């Protein structure tokens, strides 16, 4: 077995969801979740088929983001993984619906941070062992940090 790290690349201002599912129907169901979850969302998604034709299946409503999702799926190249790249929306707006999708087995990350995917490769294929989401902490939150966090959540409309 060989371990590799794969850096995902997506445009500034975008968020991604990286997950694993189990069926080709994933592409259509995730498309419906995205367009039904956030009016005006721009997104692309790609799914790595693990059997049969073993193609990267894709869809979305923004051709550039579909291409970004496909490029990232090609880099990860692990069976039944999917990548959603979105802008004008946040993962929090669709994450519960994505997790509730009958084909979705797990979510590895949902973030706008730099992401490295830890991939194991064997003679059979590749699998995702985990992810590195962003950077290591630089310290603990103080009173000023608490105030900033609470103010931000209210400014964004997530808390009152």
Per-residue pLDDT tens over the stretch 57-96: 999 999 999 999 999 999 999 999 999 999 999 999 999 9
Q: How far apart are CA 101 and CA 119, in angstroms?
A: 24
Q: Which tokens go with 160?
A: 């009152």
Taking alpha carbons only, the member of 118, 115, 112, 114 closest to residue 130 is 118
Q: How far apart are CA 21 and CA 83, in angstroms?
A: 11
User: Domain spans of the chain?
Assistant: 2-155
- pTM of whole model > 0.85? yes
Strands (E), the chain: 2-7, 15-21, 42-48, 56-60, 81-87, 104-111, 115-121, 126-133
The tens digit of pLDDT for each residue in 36-63 reads 999 999 999 999 999 999 999 999 999 9
CATH number of 2-155: 3.40.1520.10
pLDDT band at residue 160, thresholds of 50, 70 and 90?
Answer: confident
């Amino acid at each position: 077995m060989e371990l590799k790290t794969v850096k995902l690349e997506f445009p500034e201002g975008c968020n991604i969801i990286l997950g694993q599912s189990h069926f080709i129907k994933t592409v259509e169901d995730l498309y419906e979740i995205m367009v039904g979850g956030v009016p005006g969302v721009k997104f692309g998604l790609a799914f790595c088929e693990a059997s049969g034709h073993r193609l990267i299946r894709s869809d979305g409503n923004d051709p550039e983001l579909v291409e970004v999702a496909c490029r990232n799926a090609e880099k990860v190249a692990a069976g039944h993984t999917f990548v959603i790249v979105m802008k004008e929306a946040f993962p929090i707006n669709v994450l519960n619906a994505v997790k509730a999708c009958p084909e979705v087995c797990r979510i590895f990350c949902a973030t706008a941070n730099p992401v490295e995917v830890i991939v194991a490769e064997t003679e059979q294929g590749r699998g995702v062992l985990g992810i590195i989401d962003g950077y290591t902490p630089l310290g603990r939150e103080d009173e000023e940090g608490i105030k900033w966090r609470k103010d931000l959540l209210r400014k964004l409309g997530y808390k009152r």
